[in-house]
Amino acid sequence: MIEGRELLFEIEREHWWFESRRKIVYDLFWKKYFSKQTEKLKILSIGTSSGVELEFLSKFGNVLGIDLDEKMVLNAQKNGLNVLKQDILSNNFKDNSFDIVFAMDVLEHIEDHEKAFKEAFRVLRSGGYMFITVPACKFLWSNHDEHQFFPHKRRYNKKDFLVLLRTQNVEILKCSFFNFFLFPFITLVRLLNVSSDSQLKIPNKFVNSFFKTIFSSERYFLNKINFPIGVSLIAICRKKCAE
């Protein structure tokens, strides 16, 4: 596990899945809602892992990351990133503290995900945005979920995900499946319960580049449509202003 944590920075920087997700975040979120933004935004990233995503998000504002894994936090701090060892369930942030909150593949790791979601919106200012991704389709549950660096508690159907989003006073701007084009292949791998050891490795250059090209191309479609199925779900929400 320690070796896995040391490798995670390299994996999150170069693996096709993480690179593609960053491209989707940029096109679907930053370009659409903040292309004319001039002031620095105050951003909270929940579950910062190795810190690669923080480096990416820091281009768009002042980013604070929180994570429960002490080794991850220390490594991120050594790389000059603003990260605290803190639990979203018991954080000490004031109400309306952040312009944007990111929870990318985090809620599935938290037992009380409803409270985590509630806290994320409490610290988000009125009119602020939240960007969320979670693993989708309960039937895809496999050893991949159980043998993550940090194991999953659940996968989400879209109906359940929408129910969770609507527990707070939010405007749902986007809710779609993604990782649609690779869904048949990934479904086959998961249903066959193929060993999850590959999550600790970056595929060879050809495979990595091929998968990245396919997955990242979804950003051109997600701006116009919602995919009917996929390996993950994505949501963009805006906190409604208090009446």
| DSSP structural state of residue 68 | S
What pLDDT, on the 0 to 100 scale, is given for residue 109?
93
Tens digits of residue pLDDT in 198-227: 556 788 999 999 999 999 999 999 999 999
Q: Give the pLDDT band (50/70/90) at residue 194.
A: low
User: For the domain that residue 133 is a member of, what is the CATH number?
Assistant: 3.40.50.150
Domain extent, residue 52, equals 2-239
Q: CA dihedral defined by 103, 23, 49, 44, rounded to 10 degrees? A: -40
Q: CA dihedral defined by 108, 111, 114, 115, rounded to 10 degrees? A: -130
CB contact at 8 A, 52 and 15? no
Q: Average pLDDT, stretch 90-104? A: 96
What pLDDT, on the 0 to 100 scale, is given for residue 2?
41
23 vs 19: CA distance, rounded Å:
6
Contacts of 68 by beta carbon, 8 Å cutoff, 6+ apart = 85, 86, 87
Strand, helix or coil at 23? helix
61 vs 101: CA distance, rounded Å:
12
Of 6-15, 68-77, 93-102, 210-219, give the lowest mean pLDDT range: 6-15
Could you tell me the pTM of the whole model?
Answer: 0.93
Could you tell me the CA-to-CA distances from 186 to 64, 196, 203, 224, 231 in Å, in that order? Answer: 33, 12, 15, 24, 8
More confident residue, 168 or 149: 168
Number of domain units in the chain: 1
